Every structure is written in C-alpha cells, then in structure tokens.
Amino acid sequence: MSLVIGVLWGAIAGYVGGRVDSTLMRIVDILYSLPTIIFVIVLITTLGEMLKTIAFRRQLRRPLAGALRVALLFVGRARYRG
C-alpha cells in the first residue's frame, strides 16, 4: 500500500512540478516529523468517525466498522516501513 501511495505521490510531484511539488514535499516533511502514535491517533479520530458515519448510513455490521478502524491502524503504521 505504501508503495502505491509513494509512487503516485512522487509521480504527481514530478509531473506537475513547481509549487505543487514543493507543497507535496512539505506535507511529506510534516508527516515524517510526527511520531507514529500521534499520526495513528489523528488518523483514527478524523477518518474513524467518518467511516463510522458511512457504516451506520449503509447499515454495515459493527465488525465491519471495527475492521475499517483496524485498517486505518495498518495504514498509519505502514508509512514507517520501507
């Protein structure tokens, strides 16, 4: 997953260049400066509520909503693997 995100991110930055490249690189610098636990907490609190709302609207079962939150943990943790 991190490979796909990294390749797409780099391709966009390289293709467009200029201010977009500079902005994308500053975002990456900010993400690398955050400790993993803080990043995961922010990710789960912001996206977790959104996923819970979507799951509730579509009448998804509670285990599926929990699995989505666990997936967020893996996404947050995967950014430090390399």
Q: What is the pLDDT of residue 23?
A: 92
Mean pLDDT for back-to-back runs of 10 residues, the chain (82 residues): 84 90 89 75 75 66 67 66 50
Q: What is the pLDDT of residue 61?
A: 60
Q: What is the pLDDT of residue 17?
A: 86
Measured from the Cβ of residue 64, the count of other Cβ atoms closer than 10 Å reads 11
Q: What is the pLDDT of residue 37?
A: 74
Model pTM above 0.85: no
Q: What is the pLDDT of residue 64?
A: 67
To 5 degrees, how large is the angle CA 46–CA 52–CA 58?
A: 140
Length of the chain in terms of residues written: 82
Q: What is the pLDDT of residue 15?
A: 92
